[in-house]
Chains A and B, each alone.
Chain A
């Protein structure tokens, strides 16, 4: 698993539950170290053990934790750079949804060895969408629910999200746009590069 993904989980745990929680989890997972390097690649098994230990420590299901990771990645000041990169996807929330088709390619442009699963947006009507998450990264659809929810806030859109189960080998998230300009949303200045 790419270090960036492991690092995202580490950053989330430390910012949300504190350093002591992270130390407990790495210990329980038998990691042998406490800091993931963002630009190295680790055994997939390590990430699995970390999530397992985290779920036991917090007494919460993994899917729920991963949703929170998605929200954290977009809304926390620690990861402002990532929010900006996602905002380049479009001027409106709907444009952003459509840009998710290219997300895996965009990510590869930036970090060539980070491979994310393919996403495919289906437009059922101008307010009803389905996002299909294809296999490759267990739990990715849960993270995406968190990302979609937080990005809706970022754009000031009001949406309803739900897991729609499996279609073929893809996990489906349904997105219902209640109001595209519900609130002001956060400002996005093209020229203001983050940290």
Chain B
């Protein structure tokens, strides 16, 4: 059997964070890296349990209990600051001659290299500590690069959404597209008609049968509006259950009334969603650009709004032309 001196020399090479304790739990030898953690307090001569607190298993508070932990994984901490967390393994020496306790940093290594200014030379050649530190740095750098890419992509996505002209639920144009179209028609002095359509009883479908049914109804309504208009008319969903249809070049009130009546008639037909019948209707107000001396977007939208309110007052499922209102421009 080798003597303590030889054993300590061997351990120093293999595991620079070892402790050799005697049968009373006093430290007889300490590895150089472990001693480097407490430069002003020689570990040799101190009692193991005075230097370290066992975190797990907590029940180990006596030397015999410690000695009985052979082969089990220990979690411990220094009693004093910095309270670096360590992992440990106890290997009792034969014939009650004390034990070798090997310690390592585990996950606390990132803080430990900084707190104690450790270098490659403080770790044994087979220790994966340096590789771990390398990996943490390399992965952090790669993660940072990915994160900054994600941020830029997110910014681009938001910008794209903002620039989109489509209502994603119905596939119709959205409010932005409608505003754009309206401004374009006004600025080119084109004749057009604008219909403001509001679904009646939509809220009750939503409340009674849920959002899925509500979404289905909006999609069906959108489908009907597209079918009943020409391909170069603009059909836009501008609010929850509000739609605007712009008819380019349209100046005939009779045609508009006919279209509005057809829309109302078709929207009045019951729709079936998952064997549930959904009944809605529509009120429509219409304004024509030719009824304005100097058409402007806000003015025409407002006129169609006023007509829509009148249609609602007339009882639902009605169409009202702005030109028939007493408040209309001459």
Contact = CB atoms under 8 A, between A and B. Distances in A.
Interface of A: 4, 37-40, 81, 84-85, 88, 90-91, 106, 109-111, 189-194
14 contacts: A38-B145, A85-B137, A88-B134, A91-B119, A91-B121, A106-B138, A110-B135, A111-B142, A190-B119, A191-B110, A191-B113, A191-B114, A191-B115, A193-B140
B274 interface: no
B181 to A, nearest CB: 32
A80 to B, nearest CB: 10
B133 interface: yes
A109 B117 contact: no
Query: Does more than half of chain A's interface fall in helix, strand or loop, or is it mixed?
Result: loop
Interface in B137-180: 137-142, 145-146, 149, 152
Contact of B117 (A37, A85, A106, A189): A189
A38 B117 contact: no
Contacts of A37: 149, 152
Contacts of B59: none
B328 interface: no
Contacts of A189: 117
Given A4-B145, A39-B142, A40-B149, 19 more contacts: A38-B149, A39-B146, A81-B137, A88-B131, A88-B133, A88-B137, A106-B138, A110-B135, A110-B139, A111-B142, A190-B113, A190-B118, A190-B119, A191-B112, A191-B115, A191-B118, A193-B136, A193-B137, A193-B140
Nearest to B145: A38
Contact of B133 (A38, A106, A109, A190): A190
Contacts of A194: 137
B326 interface: no
Interface in B279-313: none
Contact of A81 (B114, B120, B141, B146): B141
A10 B146 CA distance: 18
The listed residue with most B CB atoms (<10 A of its CB), out of A109, A111, A190, A191, is: A190
Interface of B: 110, 112-115, 117-121, 130-131, 133-142, 145-146, 149, 152
A88 B115 CA distance: 19
Contacts of A88: 130-131, 133-134, 137
A191 B129 CA distance: 12
A85 B110 CA distance: 15
Nearest to A37: B149
Nearest to B135: A109
B298 to A, nearest CB: 40
B37 to A, nearest CB: 13
B141 A110 contact: yes
Contacts of A84: 137
A190 B142 contact: no
A37 B153 CA distance: 11
Nearest to B116: A191
A191 B117 contact: yes
B151 to A, nearest CB: 12
The listed residue with most A CB atoms (<10 A of its CB), out of B113, B130, B136, B141, is: B141
A34 B189 CA distance: 42
Contacts of B138: 85, 106, 109-111
B319 to A, nearest CB: 52
A109 to B, nearest CB: 6
A103 to B, nearest CB: 12
Contacts of A106: 134, 138
A189 B134 CA distance: 12
A3 to B, nearest CB: 9
Contacts of B136: 193
Contacts of B119: 91, 190
A88 B137 CA distance: 10
Nearest to B144: A195
Contacts of A111: 138, 142
Nearest to A191: B114
